[in-house]
Structure 1
């Protein structure tokens, strides 16, 4: 690409589409023409786009800002990269995102990718706390050619984050401030009854044994009518501040940032999140041969939690379950404790407080020495200190206190841990240009160690009702103090070879050998490798054309490993022990019944063999750009926690449980429709299609039931398993079901459950599309996301339309009144029989979770010096308004995106398999101002 530019500095860095561009230019003011070199960060290396032979998607920092109304950087990636499926874990401020790179990876365990931030390994929760404003780019590595160099961590893809750094320029200050609000998204396709509707509906159910009320009593109770969602929820207040400074010289550069983000959350009396972040990056050219650098950061956040359980202690369940005629307070001002669905959740929120604090300190120190012009040595030390503290207090005399202890006592529990994760890397890099031949060789050793220690304490009996410290409790045999410690290590040796001729023919290869402390002595080491090639066809003389500017064919094959699906010490032959990290809210995807885990010295590496083929292209002077990729992953010996039979003691063990094949197609395009000095309009879109098949289960098994879903050989992983609903008999109103053999019966039998082929929680297709428009000072960005072909067991809808719950005194949806009442009724719910136990579990409530969501909209205007005046201290000022989750189109009853059913429920490793009641998604609207000095 040629571009005429008036040079004002020694370097330019910017983004176009999903590729980062860097240009080296001379310090003068002459108008000149320079070739822009496209640069992609691949993790251990940076490559020119023309020489990339791997499958990599790049999301720029500016693209992340389009999804800025979020405190989770993972959620901001949604819809931005082909092959990368992102959905919210919950709507709670600061919640992590569920990210799957090219399909479900960990069958029976974690499917999350590896997160690498400036060379530092992080967990999903640590990654989510990064301030998106500090991010320069995110490279998502998808095929083995890109991920095998990460060995044991590369099996589920790798997310490489590069934060902003200094530059050779005059110091530039940037200030941003934004304010706004969030509110719960409206329930899709249903609404709950008000007091009058519910009271009359309950009377209508007298045939189920409900004690009917008189009209006078109905009129009296209807006066208490209120919407429990309005009672328990609020519009949250969202605010954010950011200050950065960037600059340097040709020898020393720096980047500083300080940030504050706050979201009160939509649940009254519960704090959402307060987060403080800071980044301090320095680089120094000490001599012509020696360069050193330091990247420091800190993150501190505080939040309150709530009971995320499948009962009325959960406020997000209570707001559906509680009858709208049940008041919060009695006439004397005391809490009303006669709720039909349970105790008063407002009182419980206020008397059972759950506070969490977290502090992280990441640090990177590196030195680079040029041995001679073509050979460099680099040493890097990355360390991450992570501290967590939680305090849960049950107030003396509260309802929960009386239920648990039988008398007013009060109780306090504290949970804390700290972890120190460090990586020490030493590398040699040889880079040589010989005519049109380029050779680049990187060899390194890397040692990683992760240390974790936890402390847990609890006690009952408050001396004073107002103090929440352990010294305020009485000695008791119900007090406890426990702690755990784990250490895991990974030692690696690796090498990368890159060769290209005239940027036409590119060959790359990598090899890595990992030794992991998580595996037994006989299986401790694994070797992973890859090879890839690319052909820049557009560079050939025979292909010279005015239509194509770029046309590159890529092919790759390689292997990756996985030790993420196994926890520490399961390679030791212990029969029963405790492992840190089993608290499901903090550590999803971990076993919650670990006291019965038996060690397995024979567990071995899970490996993944990946084949990929891709085409990159650009046309019409690069106005139209895109990529098409196909791939196949063959995962062998995936690790899963399997239970033994009761005859074997009822224990479980991590074991190599089977094989799986994954295939997919990815398409990504972008186009500059209009591109002039004052007016530009661009479009972008990406879509992915994925298919998985379980090839084998261990020990000759054909099926394995997981709860809601099954693993079955020959079928997609996590296929739903349930009784099939055959509709409602219009003459009798009876619910009809299919037997295993396919016959219709009115007798419900759980043993008639079968595999529902083709129905899994994961979409068959997903993606996003958007547009950017600029006219002079005005700018507009809009993005949409979608998913198609997945299913969710909709517990919330089932409970909302079951009249049996109305008989218990709970609220139900207005649609519950549409049940069979007379012969000939069609399109209705089944007749409810007295003593029948309500609507039964079946595929009647396994619904498609397809949706199209208007994800973000940003509209801004920039005032430059021509408006502000040459004497103004501000170089540029931009004001804008942003919205997130503005409109959702779906046929699903409720929220189709949230992937967590309930934090207190099992099977958390199947995101989106079912819903119960957890923190809902929100719509956010913000107004902001940006200043450049």
Structure 2
């Protein structure tokens, strides 16, 4: 008996030892919807930090001990906990997690998708990832109804004109408001580069599309009224990627491509075609053969050249990046670095972009959360000359004779200033465009810190401080031997150097109270009360000199004669108070009320504050009994909204136009002076935009087909305009 017990004990111990030995589990993670592999899914041993990630085909391999449980998770899917059996093979099908797409970020708060009452268009990260477009604005084209995106230039990174539901102003800006990670940012051409004959560089081109999680376009008053005096033209809310709990995943990308210029159906005559055409024209006008040969001899064909092909090119694009994302239930991190080099299809044009982003969040305890965001970017643009410059390839492609070759007999390039160079443009752009410089550099730093504390389950306080810094440099150089730099009247003053520096900073401080609670099982309320302070500052300095020998040095010190020195400074502030209350009954009938009061130093002392409001409602028809029996529609919602927003972006109007101003640029013969410049208007106030919207959201065949139908009316009152006044007043405008 004693020996039998010892034998059983030995067997049990041996079994336990064997069972506790490490074994390798191999398997595959797929999507339960269509069986497609789920790449980069996290496979983690429950209760530990040990884990791995699936490869591109959804396969994984991990070592476990004994009966440990695996937790499989991936963005967009519900996590699963699975205990492998003795086969050492584990195949898991993940189910889509609809709760991850339940909320839509609108800047200040996240709106529940089911209870949504507003017109919001969404562009997800999947549509933005690896996009060949430099500017994130360009990625919006065709992605949302009622949104127009167009650029006046094909220069990579050129300023984009974005319009949401048309144009609502004449003199004030018609551009939408941009919000990145909950903070209003400047999306304007802070360089005023149109006055510098530069192709404007869009500040949004500094943002790497691969770092963007989602873009939400707010269209109607129910969504934009939260932004009060600055929401009249719509709001574009951009959210960058954040870390997610699980095994840290690393990513690397490399992209290479090319683009060709498009000329539509237009084409230029070849030298042979031009030769025949011009001779035919002379013949039709009764020129003799001898006169035709004298005007267009056959020797012209020997010097024929295709100037359009020389001015344009197949542009190359390169994009590289690395990223890391991960964390645990308390700390989450996302970091990324990227480099993009995009050539323009016009020679000597392009944009290089360098980006670094870091988003870190820490859950200190069950009540306290801290987050810090940093987004640094540098954009370096090189612009070919515009069409109104001698050295412009765009001008030269059409205005240089097809019988004019760019090279002299000795193999050197014509400058275009020679008397025997046949060009209406008076310049050989193949010589000039590489000697003249038009460069624009933008550095942008977006940083912020957020601290939130949940006092009660229904009350959270939050403090957020953010800084948006922009530092730009414009450098223009005109070589003295080119058409744009040569001074025929005074050759010693040929050539010029122009430098400009602009520094812009925007500080934003937000303090908010928010929360949600239920009344019984059928009534839900959530609220937000917020105060926001926003201060904008801009400083600029510029200098120009003329008279240059040579073209190797391109700095102001080499110029012989100072030409001009300029500088400018401006600032304004906003102080805002905002509240929003949302009510839902059974998540079927939803109501949203919002108001915002804005005060701005831009407006007159009598009308400095304005109040804006919105009301929105939605009815989820799909939840009604009369639609329960059908299986065509999986979602159906009717929306209504009405509200008033404002426009405080003066656009082309002076920032201090509400005040009576003096012009100090009236120096004469070396003596300083000033003179009245504007009358001022103490009653100047906001443009007001009233918007009415009725919408219908549909989903068919379990979401396979979705449709959104909106009918809206938009009316703007109190348009801001410069009004001419009598010349006898001595003032040009009011």
**TM exceeds 0.5?**
yes
* 3-state SS, counterpart of residue 71 of structure 1: coil
Alignment partner, residue 460 of structure 2: 376
Q: CA deviation at 1:471?
A: 2.4
Deviations 1:402-453 (A, max 9, x none): 2366214432110110101121110000211232211101000001111000
Q: CA deviation at 1:3?
A: 8.0
Q: CA deviation at 1:362?
A: 0.6
Q: CA deviation at 1:140?
A: 0.2
Whether 1:118 and 2:181 are equivalent positions in the alignment is yes
Alignment partner, residue 556 of structure 1: 641
Distance 1:577 1:445 in 2: 38
Any gaps of 5 or more consecutive residues in structure 1? 11-19, 579-594, 654-933
Alignment partner, residue 134 of structure 1: 211
Q: Which of 193, 197, 202 is 2:273 aligned to? A: 197
Alignment partner, residue 632 of structure 1: 713
**C-alpha contact (below 8 Å) 1:355/1:390 kept by paired residues:** yes
* 3-state SS, counterpart of residue 335 of structure 2: strand
Q: CA deviation at 1:33?
A: 7.6
* 1:715-864 equivalences in 2 (<5 Å): none
Higher relative contact order (CA 8 A, sep 6+): 1
Whether 1:247 and 2:326 are equivalent positions in the alignment is yes
Q: Which of 557, 574, 588 is 1:471 aligned to? A: 557
Distance 1:217 1:22, change over 3 A: closer
* 1:127-526 equivalences in 2 (<5 Å): 127-185=204-262, 187-203=263-279, 213-214=292-293, 217-268=296-347, 270-310=348-388, 312-332=390-410, 333-335=412-414, 336-337=416-417, 338-344=421-427, 345-403=429-487, 406-409=490-493, 410-434=495-519, 435-462=521-548, 465-474=551-560, 476=561, 478-526=562-610
Distance 1:365 1:482 in 2: 36
Whichever of the two has the greater Rg, that structure is: 2
**C-alpha contact (below 8 Å) 1:365/1:380 kept by paired residues:** yes
Distance 1:486 1:33, change over 3 A: closer
Distance 2:287 2:425 in 1: 18
Q: Which of 601, 607, 614 is 2:695 aligned to? A: 614
* 1:539-550 equivalences in 2 (<5 Å): 539-547=623-631, 548-550=633-635
Distance 2:204 2:488 in 1: 37
CA root-mean-square deviation? 3.0
Deviations 1:598-644 (A, max 9, x none): 64444321000100001112233333322211110111112234555
**C-alpha contact (below 8 Å) 1:7/1:25 kept by paired residues:** no
Alignment partner, residue 882 of structure 1: none
**C-alpha contact (below 8 Å) 1:8/1:27 kept by paired residues:** no
Q: Give TM-score, length-normalised by structure 1.
A: 0.63
Distance 1:323 1:471 in 2: 38
Distance 1:242 1:473, change over 3 A: same
Aligned residues: 623
Deviations 1:48-77 (A, max 9, x none): 2111000000000111237x1111110011
Distance 2:700 2:400 in 1: 60
Q: CA deviation at 1:276?
A: 0.3
* 1:549-628 equivalences in 2 (<5 Å): 549-565=634-650, 566-574=653-661, 576=663, 599-628=680-709
Distance 1:76 1:7, change over 3 A: closer
**C-alpha contact (below 8 Å) 2:303/2:405 kept by paired residues:** yes
Distance 1:473 1:312 in 2: 22
Distance 1:334 1:59, change over 3 A: closer
* 3-state SS, counterpart of residue 395 of structure 2: helix
Distance 2:75 2:636 in 1: 18
Distance 1:280 1:532 in 2: 36
Any gaps of 5 or more consecutive residues in structure 2? 1-30, 36-40, 47-73, 84-91, 188-201, 666-675
**C-alpha contact (below 8 Å) 1:575/1:599 kept by paired residues:** no
Distance 1:213 1:603, change over 3 A: farther
Deviations 1:315-337 (A, max 9, x none): 21221222211221222324143
Q: CA deviation at 1:28?
A: 5.6
Distance 1:510 1:362 in 2: 28
* 3-state SS, counterpart of residue 398 of structure 2: helix
* 3-state SS, counterpart of residue 259 of structure 1: strand
Distance 1:497 1:425 in 2: 18
Q: Give TM-score, length-normalised by structure 2.
A: 0.79
